[in-house]
Amino acid sequence: MEMPQEYNLSLASELLDKGKKLFELEKYPEAVAQLHQAQILVSPDSALGGEVQIWLANTYDVMGDTAMAIAICQKLINHEDLAIAKQANFLVNIFSAPELAPLQNVTSTLPNLNPSPQSFAIGNSPKRNTKENSNSNLSKSISNPTSDQNSVNPNYLKIRILICLSILITVCFIGIWLQRFT
């Protein structure tokens, strides 16, 4: 007894969705099994059939069978669905690209993005004369202008003067603008 075509498409679509989910869960052999079942139920020339094959190619590549992935995509380059053909061409170029070799004699240091709680303790950070420290000193001078009751921080005064000057310049420009248009 033969199944109706709509049932084959809906079942193939369900199998494709299961295959995608298994792929995302990194269960690649199970994903291949689902995708192969979906592939049997649809025409390879249909959009759904092309999508199933694209997912199969990606899965094979992740599993290390890049030759099979390239072979699938090369068959899809002339697919009736233009989007499938473009994607297949793109994947062939990616799968057949040479691996990048690391640069020789090049090192880079990565910052620690998860510092320990002790690094936030008061007095534990090293005092270096860097732009970061001068910026933090600047922010401290804004939030706490008189850390010492007997002296005024020069950065605080500079910032106040710059703010006053920028307000004054803005008011002047607004005045000139209003005179021209009134």
Name the residue range of residue 54's domain: 5-95
Q: Are residues 142 and 81 in the same domain?
A: no
- 17-51 in b/e form (b: 16+ CB < 10 A) is ebbbebbeeeebebbbebbebbbebbeeebebbbb
Would you say residue 118 lies in a domain? Answer: no
pLDDT for residue 5: 55
Identify the pLDDT of residue 162.
85
10-residue mean pLDDT series, the chain (182 residues): 61 94 95 94 92 96 94 94 94 89 76 62 48 48 47 73 86 82 70
pLDDT for res 145 = 47
What is the total count of domains within the chain?
2
pLDDT the model gives residue 105: 77
How confident is the model at residue 182, as a pLDDT? 66
Q: What CATH number did the domain enclosing 40 receive?
A: 1.25.40.10
Q: Read off the pTM.
A: 0.55
Domain end marker among 70, 95, 120: 95
Q: Does 55 fall in a domain?
A: yes
Tokens representing residue 96 in the block: 């057949």
Site of tokens 């809906």: 10
How much is the pLDDT for 46? 92
Burial group, residue 140, by CB count within 10 angstroms (0-12, 13-18, 19+): middle
| Spatial contact of 79 and 45, defined as CB atoms under 8 Å apart | yes
Domain assignment present for residue 110? The answer is no
Whether 100 is covered by a domain: the verdict is no
Whether residue 75 sits in one domain with residue 155? no
